[in-house]
Structures are given as structure tokens and as C-alpha cells.
Structure 1
Amino acid sequence: MFVNQAADLVIQLSSSLKTKPDVGEFGIVFTDHMLTIEWTATKGWKAPFIRPFGNLALHPASTSLQNAIQLFEGLKAYRGDDNQLRLFRPMLNMKRMAYSAWRACLPAFDQSELLECIRRLVEIEQDWVPHSDVASLYIRPTFVSTEPSLGVKKPIRALLYVILSPVGVYFKTTDAVSLWADPKYIRAWKGGTGDCKMGGNYGCSMLAQHEAVDYGCQQVLWLYGDDHQITEAGTMNVFLHWINENGDEELATPPLDGIILPGVTRRSILELGRKWGEFAVTERYITMDQLCSAVKQQRVKEMFGCGTACMVCPIGRVVYQGQDLHIPHQDAKVTSRIAKELTDIQVGGRTNIHMHEYMQTHTDARCFPYSSVTAGRTSVCFILPSPSGFCFHVLIAYFE
């Protein structure tokens, strides 16, 4: 692991800064600088390096290219109404990245030290964070094997790097998305890497995505097993708000059984719904037969996907085995309520935090807790001060 690496951070600022364009298509514009940290089995982690954004030099036989030994994460920096920047539950991303690294046989890293290096990078690029509650700065940590070998083996060289991109909405349409469900394509399977954020999980989905468009749909509703269990929607976790078979109002999402990505937004929505206490909030298996019956019996209230990139996205239609299932979405009260509450938290409009995953693991002496009371709710986060006077709020979690 790299220990106290943030203290050894080397910074080389670009001598030629880019003109900052308006936020356009998702993930095609990048900031002026990037973070790189090299690792070898013999020497361990080198000092982290913030340098001008540029191409990487990889050997053609690099096992990240040959054997797909690589992974990535995705989180965002938000600018609040108070002009402060905030990260939303970043230690969950660090924890998930560490798990993905273990699964890919890439080296372990200190999660708190990496987060501090990311904070420093965002601090340098703070002017790139949009002044908007519908746009943000997308943070993409990436971890790849750089060992030049055609053999399939555990890497002895690797590179961890972080790039930043100002982004707006993920989907171009403002309407609810449509999904194509066909069991002939499988996103992930038990014992595989569906619960990791690896590029191979997404690259292998391209053909199904292309076929979904041929059927007039925008995304794929991924199914699993002989009973066609619903798993994920495109690159999103999926939720169903309905009256279940027992006549109870329920907000349900598939369980984390190894084929579902443990999304940060997914977890936050579960906690938010349970805090409301207005209906059952469950992690359970849902099959296409159950969904078809519920739609026919008008028991479906709404359905939505969620993720860091797309936030909360209503689902309006599912095409499945000749059936065109229309999902209510014009008056999707729970979907819009969740989207608003999460956005308020992320931009600092409302934060009531009670969990402590960041507090328990972060040991940087420069970080100190900050608390206040707003509208009768306690807000707890960390302010990460810097010599420049820039303050960065790291949201640990929320809800009381």
C-alpha cells in the first residue's frame, strides 16, 4: 500500500490552460491536469504526480490491453449554491475500487490517501466545476496493468490515474428511457465480475445495446436465469415502485448477489426510502413475469434507473418477447422526489448525515469535522482546507 503518499505529491502545472467550453456531450471534454501514480512489485508505489493532461505511453503487449486487467470508478464534484465544492460519499467509491482491484489482482492502495490526492487534483481544477445544479465535474479514477507480457498472469507493474471531465445530463432525451429486454444476452453471472467496475463489463454490452436501438429502445434491461430476473438497466441499477403481489406498496431493487454493481446512488436511495418510512423498501428478486403481470393489473406506479453518471432516470417503456410494456412516468412522484432530495444533498441545499465511513478511515490531520443545523436537521461533513483557502466538503453520508 502507499502510505502518506499525499504528502509526497508532486505537482507540475500546465503552462497553457484550455479555454473552458460549455458543458456538452457526456465525457468528451477533459480538464488541464491529471493524476498518475505508478506501481511495481519490486519498488511499490511511486510518489503521486499531478501533471498536465496528456496521452499515456503503454507497451503494445500491456496486459491491460491484451487481457483486460483494468478497472475504473466514477464519482462527481458538485458546486453548491454557496459556491463550495462537494464530493458525495467518496469513500464508498474508494472501497468499491479497492474491491475491484483485489478481484483483478491489481495491487492494494490506501483509500484515504488516494482520496486526498483526488481532492488536490480537484482543487487545482476547481474552475472547471460547473456553476449549475444539473452539471458537475465527473471524476474518473482508472487502474490498469502496464506489464508488457502476452502471458495471463498477475501483473507486476501497474498505473493508477485520475482524469476529470465537466459533464451535464447523461441521456440526451429529457423523456423517460425505453428498455429492450431479451434473455439471450447476459451482462454478468454469479462468480463473475458483475459486482466490480471493470471495462470488460461494459465493452461486452455494446452488441446488445446496438440491437436495442434496432427495436426502438435506448437501453438494455439485463435479465438473468431461467426465470428472467431483472438485474440492471443499461449501466444503471434499477428500482421498481409498485403494489406487490401481497398488495403492499413497495420500492424494490435486485439484491447484491454478485451480479449487481453496488452503486453508491443505489445505496443512498435505499437509505432515503427507508428514512421516509412511507412504504416497504426491499432488496429482492423481480422477474419479468412479475413485472408483466403488474403492468397488466396496473400495479406499477413507476420504474427508474440510477447511477452516478445518470443520477435518477425514469423508465417509460420495456419491450419484452413481443410485449410493449408501458410504465407510468408522467406523474412519477417518487422518482422526482428522490432526484430532488439527492441533488439537494449533493449541492449542499440539505445534508443530514449520520454515517461515518469516511470519518472512521480518514486519518489526514488537515481534515476536521464541520457540523451545523439547518431546518432542524444536523449536517455533518468534512471541510478539507488548503493553503489557498479553498474548502472542499466531503459528504460522508446522510439521513438521521
Structure 2
Amino acid sequence: MELEGIMEIKVIKKNPIGKKPDGSTLGFGNIFTDHMFNLDYNPEKGWHNARIEPFQKFEFSPATMVLHYGQAIFEGLKAYKNDKKDILLFRVKDNFKRLNNSAKGLCIPELDSDFLIKALHKLLKLEKDWVPEAPGTSLYIRPAIIATDPSIDLRPSETYRYFVILSPVGAYYEGFKPVNIWVSKDYTRAIPGGVGEFKTAGNYAASLFAATEAAENGYNQVLWLDAVEKKYIEEVGSMNIFFVIGDEIVTPKLTGSILPGITRSSVIDLSNNWGFKISERRISIDEILEAHDSGDLKEVFGSGTGVGISPVGKIGLDDTELTINGNKPGELAVKFDEELTGIKLGNREDKFNWVTPVL
């Protein structure tokens, strides 16, 4: 976490700058802004050489450790522009706290989160015109750290690159339409004692095969079960999951194999503030089947930075397909979505001090 010599951030501006995309036609994660932030680490200097420079390719040896042993972590957060042209960040401190937790879990040197936030503000002020204004759009922020030793010796790297890239994005899914999720009984994403609670590249690589099968069967995402008994629900590929059973909101408790989502935490905090009955506990797929058959399963929704609040319309399991709330967004999903969107844009009271303006 040593920061000697890097408190000054060098800025190298791109000339000419790129053309900004039409906010009404944005997809997700395919367009990038003019500039990026870079920071290097080695044992002698610690984290050093902080700079904002034009978005560009990296040049590494084919033996670079991240390519062979997957020592890579990342975060995902968003900047929003409201009607007043203010640029706002949502729970940015929590994202960098989670980044450091992932770093610790993968033997990567931790960073000073206050400095990272300062650097992010500087980058966002330079790229302020890239923050889209159309409804439902935002500027997606991807901080990441990769191991850079040119070696195939199996050990933690001694050198690293931290970088931040920015991407103007639309909705992860089209509109606020319910998505369909497929229960994976044959494949496992993560196990207790592993790296499931860290936001590391390998977790997402482990999800791709099952996600491809889900798509082939007409589903948007995979609903993962626990790796030991294959019956307790954990999370969905791009989001945490919530079930409304009777008068109770239920989400799987964090067991070390589930990513501790920032939006998940926000839904829990709002539920408690509103006086809703909410539980973090183990919940089996059999309980969901029984609740659906009895009529107690009122709605299902996911939460995540990319998806926001995402209602679930159908759950597929073997030859069974459950239709949730008539395949329409549920009342609570709409309520959470409207509240969180309002807070992120500065249009609703921020009781928890989640929002930080980019000044």
C-alpha cells in the first residue's frame, strides 16, 4: 500500500479526441473513452507511476503470468449524469474496499482506496463528456489488476498493473423486462474455501460453459447451486438473487462462495429501512419449487451493478419451467429499481450517504 512518489498523477491527453456515441443506441461494454488510468507495482517502488493517458493496447511478454495462472481481479461501478449535468458515483468506497479484499485473496498488494478514488475523479473530470445522458444509460467503470511478471514459474507475481477503463453503456438487458434463468445441476461456479467471494477473472471463466448451454435452451443466465450438496441456491452469473416468499424477502447468505454484491447490500439496507421482512439464509431449490406450487412465491429479482435490479420471469430446471408473477416485473422489483435509480441520479433522498459527486 506504499504510495511514495505517486500522489501526483501525470496526465497525457489524447489529440484529437474521439467522437461520442449516440446515447440512444448504446449497448454494453463495446465502446471505450479516450483516456485510461494506469499504475504500476514492483517490490522496490511499491505502487508507482500514476498516469492518465490515451486508451491504448498493452504490450506484454507471452510468458506474462496473468495469461497462464489467472492472477487477475476487477471491479465494476458506474458514473451517472442527471438532469442538472452533475456526475455522480454510487457506493464507490465499497467497490474499492471489495477490490482490496479480492487483492488480498489473490496475493496481490493492496492499494490505498482514497488515492484510487482521487485518481478516478481526475479521470472522470477529463472524460465528463463521455458520460451519457439518455435515460437508462451510464458510464461503466472497470478498475482491474493483473499480474505482469514475464515468467511461467507457478508463484505469485512480483509486478502488477492496475488500470481503469471507461465505457458508456446502455441497459445490460433490454429495458426492465423479466429475464429467464436456468438452474445448473451439472456444473459448479465456486466452492467454500475457494475464490468465489472474490471478483476474479477465473470465476467468470468457470461460468461460461454453463451459460452457453443456458442460452442454447433460451435462458439469459445460470442460477448456480452450491458445490457440495447441489441443492442450495447461491447466485446468478451476473447478479445476486432475491426471492419474495409470502411476506418475506430471501437472499442466499454469504458463505465464501458468493460474491458480496454492492447492489445486494443496498437492497438489504433499503428493506430494513422500509421495515420489510428480509432474511439472509440458505435457501434450497426445493423450497422454491414448493413455494411456487403453493402460490407463495410472489416474485424473483436479481441485483448487480451491470443489471441494476432485474426481474426474473421464468426459472428452468430439468424439464420444469416456473413462471414467476405472470412473467411480469414484481411490485418490489419495481420499487427497489425506482428507489435506487432515483438515489443514483440525486433525485431521491440519500439516507445512507451512498452517492459521491464528481467535483
Q: TM-score over 0.5 for the alignment?
A: yes
Q: Distance in 1 between matches of 2:309 and 2:91?
A: 17
2:321 is the counterpart of 1:324 = yes
Aligned partner of 1:266 in structure 2 is: 264
Q: Give the residue type in structure 1 aligned to 2:204.
A: Y
What code does the residue aligned with 2:331 have? K
CA contact (8 A) 1:180 1:318 kept: yes
Matched, 1:231 2:234: yes
Aligned partner of 2:289 in structure 1 is 292
What one-letter code is carried by the residue in structure 2 that aligns with 1:305? G
1:79-100 per-residue CA deviation (whole Å, 9 max, x = no partner) reads: 1222111100101000000011
RMSD: 1.6
Where does residue 337 of structure 1 map in the other structure? Answer: 335
Confirm or deny: 8 A CA contact 1:133 1:343 kept in the other structure.
no
2:182 aligned counterpart, secondary structure? strand
| Superposition pairs of residues 1-16 of structure 1, within 5 angstroms | 1-3=1-3, 7-16=7-16
Alpha-carbon offset, residue 213 of structure 1: 1.6
Residue of structure 2 in register with 1:398 after alignment: none
Task: Name the CA distance, whole Å, in 2 between partners of 1:190 and 1:94.
Answer: 23
Which residue of structure 2 lines up, in the alignment, with residue 175 of structure 1?
177
CA distance in 2, matches of 1:383, 1:305: 27
Aligned residue in 2 for 1:196: 198
**Which 10-residue stretch deviates more, 6-15 or 61-70?**
6-15
* Aligned residue runs from structure 1 range 149-168, under 5 A: 149-168=151-170
1:78-135 deviation digits (Å, cap 9, x = unpaired): 1122211110010100000001111111111101101110110011000000113410
- Cα deviation for residue 381 of structure 1 reads 5.9
Give structure 1 stretches of 5+ with no counterpart: 244-248, 356-379, 385-390, 392-400
Which residue in the other structure is 1:59 paired with? 61
Q: Give the Å deviation of 1:256.
A: 1.1
Q: Which of 200, 206, 209 is the matching residue for 1:207?
A: 209
> What is the one-letter code of the residue matched to 1:154?
P
**CA drift at 1:350:** 1.2
Shift of the 268–317 alpha-carbon distance from structure 1 to 2, 3 Å rule, reads same
- Describe the shift of the 1:302–1:174 C-alpha distance in structure 2 as closer, same or farther (beyond 3 A): same
Given the two structures, how large is their TM-score scaled by the length of structure 1? 0.86
Q: Contact 1:227–1:287 (CA<8 Å) still a contact in 2? A: no
* Cα deviation 1:217-240 (Å, max 9, x = unaligned): 111111113251111112110000
Give the whole-Å Cα distance in 2 for the aligned partners of 1:146 and 1:275: 45
2:238/2:306 contact within 8 Å kept: no
- Determine the C-alpha separation between the residues in 2 that align with 1:153 and 1:122: 35
Cα deviation, residue 149, structure 1: 0.6
Aligned equivalents of 1:63 and 1:7: distance in 2? 28
Q: Tell me which residue corresponds to 1:364.
A: none
State TM-score, norm by structure 2: 0.95
What is the count of residue pairs matched by the alignment? 355
Tell me which amino acid in the other structure corresponds to 2:174: K
Give the equivalent residue in structure 2 for 1:241: 244
Question: What is residue 251 of structure 2 aligned with on the other side?
Answer: 253
Other-structure match for 1:131: 133
Instruction: State the alpha-carbon separation in 2 of the partners of residues 4 and 82 from structure 1.
Output: 38
Determine the C-alpha separation between the residues in 1 that align with 2:282 and 2:155.
36
**What is the SS of the residue equivalent to 1:117?**
helix
Displacement of 1:21: 1.1
Instruction: Give the letter for the 1:69 counterpart.
Output: Q
2:304 match: 307
CA deviations 1:15-57 (Å, max 9, x no partner) are 1111111242200000000000011112212131000010011
User: Which runs of 5 or more residues in structure 2 are unaligned?
Assistant: none
Distance 1:151 1:324 in 2: 48
Provide closer, same or farther for how the CA distance between residues 209 and 381 of structure 1 changes in structure 2, counting only shifts above 3 A. Answer: closer
Amino acid at match of 1:20: K
Partner of 1:92: 94
Runs of 4+ in structure 1 displaced over 6 angstroms? none
User: Do the aligned partners of 1:6 and 1:113 also contact (CA within 8 Å) in 2?
Assistant: no
Looking at structure 2, the residues matched to 381 and 41 of structure 1 have their Cα atoms a distance apart, in angstroms, of: 35
**Partner-residue secondary structure (3-state), 1:140:** strand
> How far 1:5 moved relative to its partner?
6.2
What is the identity, as a one-letter code, of the residue corresponding to 1:340? Answer: E
* Residues 1:383 and 1:138: Cα distance change in structure 2 (over 3 Å): closer
Alpha-carbon shift at residue 63 of structure 1 (Å): 0.7
Contact 2:188 2:225 in 1 (8 A): yes
Equivalent residue number for residue 280 of structure 2: 283
